[in-house]
Chain A
Amino acid sequence: MTPDLAQIQPERKRAAVELSRAGVTFGQAGARVQALQPTDLRIDEGEFLALVGPSGCGKSTILKLVSGLTRPSEGAVIVGGREVAAKALRIGMAFQNPTLLPWLTIEKNVMLPLKIVRPFRHDFARKKRGEYRDRVHAALADVGLQGFANHYPWQLSGGMLQRANLCRALIHDPSLLLLDEPFGALDQFTREELWGTMQDLWIKRRPTVILVTHDLKEAGFLGTRICVMSARPGRIIDDSPVTFPRPRSIEMTFQPEFTALNQRLRERIISARQEVTA
């Protein structure tokens, strides 16, 4: 059943991502694991959606569906008005593991999407020394990595690698950015620093972002909207807007309104966990 797009999209903003009854089941008959219950989710253009929930709840599955790395077992996933297929989408991705290629310098790592993605790849051979190089250097400067273009990944700290990773995810100006716990493996201070960097990047470019995280504070700091997911099989059990003004600061996260939001989401997650164990 594919819903008619014209009917379900009234005068609202254009949907960047739309899941309609999209579910994922892994494995053969007999040993089937339902990773994601049929889910409806609509993300508007320019939204910063934070997906939170206990581990193994299918948060990453939603990202993989949107990126086209996983096909839905049922339902439909529509990105930018088209059903997700194997063909090229203008998506940027960053994972918890920075996955920079160890044989390339930071500059060449960040340049990689320009070598792959249309229409950039068409001009890559001609522009890689000039225009694209400047573009990469400007992007590195945006995240505070100026002067590290010719370093190799193993020469950088975890936080710096993650900054380079964000650069690579954004270098081809994707309209959709998918982040899978990109700050999860960092220490508290580095993480908070990178939240600031991420917020700046978002305000500057305004891509649609889906951020998967298990950190409620991170979700509240970065998101314009938070969806809470239950444990496996995953489904969305709470969907709240976050209206704090931007740019947000770390100090804001200590204010009562923020703490109240945090507390409420926490309780939703805990009660969802108890439903499963009961």
Chain B
Amino acid sequence: MTYALRRRLWAAALILAFFVTWEVLCLALDVSDLIVPRPSQVIATLWVRMPVLWPHILQTLWTTMIGFALGVIVGVVIGALIGTSRVAYDTAYPLLIGFSSIPKVAVVPIFVLWFGAGPVPAVLTALAMCFFPIVVNIATGLATTEPEMEDVLKSLGASKMDLLLNVGLPRTMPFFFASLKIAATFAFVGTVLAETVASNKGIGNVMMSASSNFDVPLVFAGLFILAFLGVALYVVFSVIEGRVVGWANRRTDLSPS
């Protein structure tokens, strides 16, 4: 059995053990499903309600993806700007940290005020949640580029753009992907946050109305869906990462035999 396979089996076993323990504890302690439903109940709910849930899942998914895509664009541009210039870095950093310290729950009502309830505040909240880690990672990656690497190109007469495209950005890719995996999950948090506050569609909205109806299994079903979507997105970026920045991990399957 290979190491990778064994590791995957262990991970699967841990997840399984988690749910089994949960199920057993609920049964043993006779916990009401109004407090904590058993995993089997949640899965049954998921199965039965799926036709109703499906449009909400899609809604949450596409708002998140749009917010995330915008967040990546904004994050990369700002990160590249402040990472390549010391002055821009020192000037813009306090403002950015200030902005990222604001609890995003607090800005949702403002977005709603401007754009009305619906998908727009959700997209914007997702964007606001996810762009900061990308900015920080891109800026750090660019700012820590070894000067010798750039000197080689500078002595050839390379422009700032040449340096950015040939040294700065490729070198920053491992940082970028690390931040994407964080940003993707943050984007989900942002979307659901906005949906719970002001929307009539989406998983956040489903969970909100389910909890006010004391339909606790449905609330948990929403959590399960979000966790699953988060993991799925994470996996997607891990796969892309492995292909793009394999050099940083010295993967042996890159080497010509």
Name A residues whose Cβ lies closer than 8 Å to a Cβ of B.
67-69, 87-89, 91, 93, 95, 97, 99, 101-104, 112-113, 115-118, 150-152, 154-155, 168, 172, 178
* Alpha-carbon separation in the docked complex, A19 to B248 (Å): 42
CB of A103 within 8 A of CB of B156, answer no
* Alpha-carbon separation in the docked complex, A91 to B254 (Å): 33
Q: Which residue of A lies closest to B162 (CB)?
A: A116
Interface core residue of A88, A95, A99 (most chain B CB under 10 Å): A99
By size class, the interface of chain B is 20 to 34
Known: A69-B151, A93-B152, A152-B255. A87 touches B167 (CB 8 A): no
CB of A101 within 8 A of CB of B156, answer no
CB of B250 within 8 A of CB of A154, answer yes
- Chain B positions within 8 Å of A115 at CB level: 166
Q: Which 5 A-B pairs have the closest CB atoms?
A: A88-B157, A103-B247, A67-B155, A93-B155, A116-B156
- Chain B positions within 8 Å of A101 at CB level: 149, 166-167, 170-171
- Chain A positions within 8 Å of B158 at CB level: 116
* Alpha-carbon separation in the docked complex, A67 to B157 (Å): 10
CB of A91 within 8 A of CB of B156, answer yes
* Alpha-carbon separation in the docked complex, A103 to B156 (Å): 20
Question: Of the candidates B156, B167, B247, B255, which one forms a contact with A117 in the assembled complex, judged by CB atoms under 8 Å apart?
Answer: B156
CB of B155 within 8 A of CB of A68, answer yes
- Chain A positions within 8 Å of B167 at CB level: 101
B:237-257 near A, CB below 8 Å: 245, 247-248, 250, 254-256
CB of A97 within 8 A of CB of B148, answer yes
Q: Which residue of B lies closest to A115 (CB)?
A: B166
* B90 adjacent to chain A (CB < 8 Å): no
B:13-37 near A, CB below 8 Å: none
